[in-house]
């Protein structure tokens, strides 16, 4: 029970609310290039995930009921959007801010815990998380070129 609660809190670090709050910090700091890179990455993550989930439905480990097309897309497990967002933020920080080995290690551990939390909470299988990691990398590369 305690472990489940801890994992639910950790998974927040890969959530859309955390990602948007993180992005808005750069907007308030008038770091518009960083803000736009993060928002572009989020858009790419969602567009690619949507396309994949439209054509490839994979049920989650803990099945979710759906009654319409939008709910079916949300009930699909592949790729893990949490893992994609967490990967994007980790690599973004690594490229732009993380210089200390200890900070890199801390953020990497938190990112790995997000990945693990998705599996522990039965939201995704390992392959879904790996797909999310690849999507996060892809989205960062594309957003840097746009």
Give per-residue pLDDT as tens, 21-41.
999 999 999 999 999 999 999
Q: Do residues 120 and 138 touch, judged by C-beta distance below 8 A?
A: no
Look up tokens 């955390």; give the residue.
18
pLDDT tens column, 77-99:
999 999 999 999 999 999 999 99
CA distance 140 to 146: 10
Among 22, 10, 26, 7, smallest CA distance to 88 is for: 22
Backbone angles phi, psi at 62, to 5 degrees: -100, 100
- Element (H or E) spanning 89, and its range? helix 81-96
pLDDT tens column, 50-86:
999 999 999 999 999 999 999 999 999 999 999 999 9
* Alpha carbon separation from 56 to 11, 37, 51, 88, 103 (Å, rounded): 24, 28, 8, 23, 37
pLDDT at position 1, please? 86
How many structural domains does the chain have? 1
Which range of residues forms the domain containing residue 106?
Answer: 2-145
């Amino acid at each position: 029970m305690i472990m489940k609660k801890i994992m639910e809190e950790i998974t927040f670090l890969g959530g859309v609310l955390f990602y948007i709050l993180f992005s808005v910090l750069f907007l308030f700091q008038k770091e518009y290039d960083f803000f736009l890179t993060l928002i572009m990455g989020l858009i790419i993550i969602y567009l690619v995930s949507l396309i994949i989930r439209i054509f490839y439905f994979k049920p989650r480990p803990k099945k979710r009921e759906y009654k319409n097309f939008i709910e079916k897309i949300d009930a699909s497990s592949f790729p893990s959007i949490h893992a994609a967002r967490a990967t994007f933020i980790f690599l973004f920080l690594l490229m732009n801010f993380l210089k200390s080995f200890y900070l890199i290690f801390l953020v990497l551990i938190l990112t790995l815990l997000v990945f693990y939390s998705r599996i522990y909470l039965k939201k995704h299988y390992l392959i879904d998380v790996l797909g999310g990691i690849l999507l996060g990398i892809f989205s960062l590369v594309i957003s840097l070129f746009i």
